[in-house]
Structure 1
Amino acid sequence: MELIGSTLTATYVRPKTSHFLPAISTMATSYRGIQPPMAMNPSANLWRTNSYYKSSSLVPTLSPLQRENSDLVRAKTTFYPSNRTALATRYTPEDWYKSNHSNYRESESSRKSAERLRRDTIRLMQDKEQLTRRSQENTSKNIGERLNDIVFWKSELSHEIDNIVTEIATLTEVKRRLERALAETEGPLQVSQECLYHREKRMSIDLVHDDVEKDLIKEVEVIKSCQERMRRHLDRAIAQLLSNRAAQHELERDMRDKLTAQRIEDRCHNLRNTSDGISYYRGIERLDPSLSLPDSWSKFTDDNILRSQSERASSQKLRDEIEILLNTTSNEMWNQFNSVNIAFTNRISETADAKNGLQTHLAKTLQEIFQTEMLIESLKKALRDKENPLKVAQTRLEERTRRPNIELCRDNPHHRLVSEVREIEDTIQKLQERLMEAENTMQILAKTKATLEHDLSIKANSLFLDQEKCMSMRKSFPSMPRLVGYT
């Protein structure tokens, strides 16, 4: 073994035995049985050096027999003057024993320290290993939770992206309908203006400012007003589409970032101590490249989603407004168109008979609807009147179940009460069936009424179409679906 900082001066070979040193107990017995050395007579120590006296002064007082033996030994040594110099430089047996004891104690102390250090080190290594494992598990758990958060927000983003894409497509379709409806208004405007031009050809007394002319002028104003509102809503739809696409862009960019972060977090979550690609990156823990905190991170995505939801809400509101506008403008133009047509054909006698016939049937239907409603009310009152008798019968049955002991008899009143309950329930069931039939009849009458009213407007409009030159021109007036943007 070579020590650092010193030259190689000796070679140490470990013995082949199982222990390098003998056991402590064996060594202890090897020196405990030896008799203590005999002390010299102080009077005979004149020839010793001062260092010897210092060491020998620590020897305890010996017995007389030990002193005699010591004197004999010293007497023998006096016969050899040549050994005096050598004896003056040697240690006493007591020093030798004390040195051994000191070495033993040092050995035991060092071994105990080494053993304690070994135990503490092993325990420290185990504790640190457990701490490292727990820290790694906690880190993996945190990364897993982070992955769950990313997956959650990614699903929310995906759902919101689908919603905003659907909303963009729906708003685009509504915008196309609005553009088509705006284009469809050009034809009726031209027809109305041409009708006014043709009516200027009237001569003499017929050249009057009558109701037909008033309605035609009003029709032109209504169509121009509808066109102006359509253009304003069309501009709003274009601006809203830009806002929707901007929100979609932010969502998709956030989704791309989430996908990249998910791949990185998933790789980090699957890293193990035996994984490939792990390496040292000194000082990386002191580097903080993060640009956000968990709250600001979630708030960023939440803000994007909220912005998209807000844009979708605005888009839906705009779509509803456009739908209402299309229906309103089409109704206004159609109503005005009917007013002009009625003004053109209000004196046609042939249409009066058919119109009166439809009105007669409609009046009869309305009368039948009124009577059916009265019948329904009567049936409902009859059902309400059966509630209290049913309650009385059931209450009687319930009270009679409390009769004690042998009094709880299935007597005639019991059978009559059971029969009464069944009769009332059967009556209620039949009344409910009849009420259902009356309500179905009411629905049929209402449907018939709606059919008659619709047929009345169709007949009136159809009969007005075959008249004057203006009526033949007004046949090109667009239908209701075309006015709301459908082709």
Structure 2
Amino acid sequence: KWQRYPECISPSKRKPRLGPALSTRYMPEDWFKSNRSNYRESESSRNSAERLRRDTIRMIQDKDQMTRRTQDTTSKNIGERLNDISFWRSELNHEIDNMVTEISALTDVKRRLERALAETEGPLISEAVHVILFIIILRSNRAAQHELERDLSDKVTAQRIDDRCHHLRNTSDGISYYRGIDRMDPSLPDSWSKFTDDNILHSQSERAASHKLRDEIEILLNATSNEMWDQFNSVNVSFTNRIAEMADTKNNLQTHLAKTLQEIFQTEMLIEALKKAIRDKENPLKVAQTRLEERSRRPNVELCRDNPHHRLVTEVREIEDTIHKLRERLMEAENTLQTLVKTKVALEHDLSIKANSLFLDQEKCMGTRKSFPSTPRLVGYT
């Protein structure tokens, strides 16, 4: 038997062949079995390919229909969006016209009031600011107009873009791939309409306040004369108190600055001490590690974990832990120093501001408050 099928003989027991093999490696049953296996594998592959082909064709058809439906829906949505933009453009244009009219009317009142205050703008400019509220409202009106015009400009741009998108087709020129554009996260639709609605409501509110103020200007002109005399005396007292407060604050800042400078010096000394402490640990660590390295050359059984070995390991770890903690403390000290330096800069900056404020209040402001116009001139009579 073994002579008939030499391939079954253990390789170590085979004799070297001096001629061609006298028998085959496989039996006929193996040949038929191999054929049947190839048939089954071929059939399985064909079935899998056929299923994949059917599923893929069906998927292509489904996705093609879904793509067309989605594109049609998107085109419809863009068209609706264009109608929304047209509506808000109309509302913005209407509100801008109203605001321009109101600004013009308020500007005329402002010129009248400026003529009444022409003689008082020198010594009384600080008192007049809180009285002439219409100047603030005029600025608010212009700011509201600016927001409306900017919103309108954005709407014009958006309408032009959406109109171009609305006319895009699969055969249009200029279409291309833009990878990742679908992951962009614009604002929500509700916030879009609410933004313009809020702008219009804000503008209407500003116009209402402006109109109301214009009606009160005539009364305000007569009441301002008496109020300004009271304000003149009150502001003088306020200036005196403020100057005293400013001087006291300036002195406190100088004290804090001196203490901060001293702390900076001490912190710098601490940093140097920490750096020296870290350097002082380098040689002891080198000695301990060198001892460990030298003792690692002990021969045979002499290389054991004896008490000196354990003590050296403990010593290395203790020194390394000490260095680690010293470095942490060094980092903390350096961060503290940075904070102190920032505080120093802030204090110095604040001191310069306080000094400038004292100069303005004492020399400039109080210097211009040495005269006060008469009542007829306060109400605008020449």
What is the TM-score with the length of structure 1 in the denominator?
A: 0.32
Larger Rg: 1
Give the number of the structure with larger relative contact order, counting CA–CA contacts within 8 Å between residues 6 or more apart.
2
